[in-house]
Amino acid sequence: MSPTQDSPPTSKALDLVTHESPSILIYETKPADPLHYIALSHPRGPGPHFCAFRNDLEEYRKYISFDKLPATFQHAVKTTRELGLRYHWIDSISIIQGPDGDFAQEATRMEDVFSSAYCVLAASSAKGQEDGFLTPRKENDFLTFDKGGQPLYTCRFMDDFKTHVLEGPLNKRGWVLQERALAHRTIFFTDRQTYWECDEGVRCETLTKMDK
């Protein structure tokens, strides 16, 4: 959440606290909260789904068990912490689900949520909450050479943003076009490699710069 913003783009976010005190809980934002947060773009996939319902709120304001989170959410928490940020937004937790939930109110904030996020993590190869995105890569073998006592790594050409991201499982979800268009920067986790997109274009894990 941008420090210059008059009010938070969402009423709730996940507070990941610190590495030293690795608790997770729902944090209810306050006016003019100067928070930086990361948002997750992910597919729901087949159930059961991990969601926050109205009767979970009292418990989740105090503690959410990391071990009970599905793999995609666990990986989002790990990545956010490694990037040095404390707050994270996941739709099915930050928006209270069910007939007595707050989807009608929070859905109107989606433009602000993704446009105000410090970064968006896109689980591009995941098909559901349990798939995760920090997974072993497919056909991603490196050759190592010695150059003056320093290791030099090479790999085959595998940069294919169109196939890996634009035609990947996540892009079959209706909201994804909006999420990508609104984000200032996105890290796409695919089963081949990681891609980074910002206003200056797309860069691959193999250090290639691609045209948008």
pLDDT given for residue 140 in this prediction: 67
Given this model, what pLDDT does residue 172 score? 86
User: For residue 196, what pLDDT is reported?
Assistant: 95
74-95 pLDDT, tens per residue?
999 999 999 999 999 999 999 9
Residues of the chain with pLDDT > 70: what percent?
Answer: 91
Mean pLDDT of 187-192: 94
Give the C-alpha separation, 30 to 10, whole Å.
Answer: 10
> Six-digit token pair at 144?
């190592």
d(CA 108, CA 88): 19
The whole-number pLDDT of residue 7 equals 65
How high is the pLDDT of residue 183?
95
Point out which residues pair with 153 in neighbouring strands. 144
Question: Nearest CA to 116 among 53, 185, 61, 29?
Answer: 185
Average pLDDT, the chain: 88
Q: Which of 1-5, 7-11, 109-113 has the highest mean pLDDT?
A: 109-113
Task: Average the pLDDT over each of 50-59, 73-82, 148-157, 199-208 and give the range with the smallest value.
Answer: 148-157
Rg (CA), the chain: 18
| Band of residue 201 on the pLDDT scale cut at 50, 70, 90 | very high
CA–chain centroid gap for 158, Å, is 23
pLDDT reported for residue 148? 83
pLDDT at 8: 74
Does residue 2 have a pLDDT over 60?
Answer: no
Report which of residues 151 and 26 the model is more confident about: 26
Residue 1's closest CA among 99, 77, 102, 114? 114
Q: What pLDDT band is residue 21 in, cutting at 50, 70 and 90? A: low
Q: Return the structure tokens found at 130.
A: 């349990």
Model confidence over 159-171: pLDDT tens digits?
A: 889 999 999 999 9
Residue 10 is predicted with a pLDDT of 83
Stretch 21-50: mean pLDDT:
88
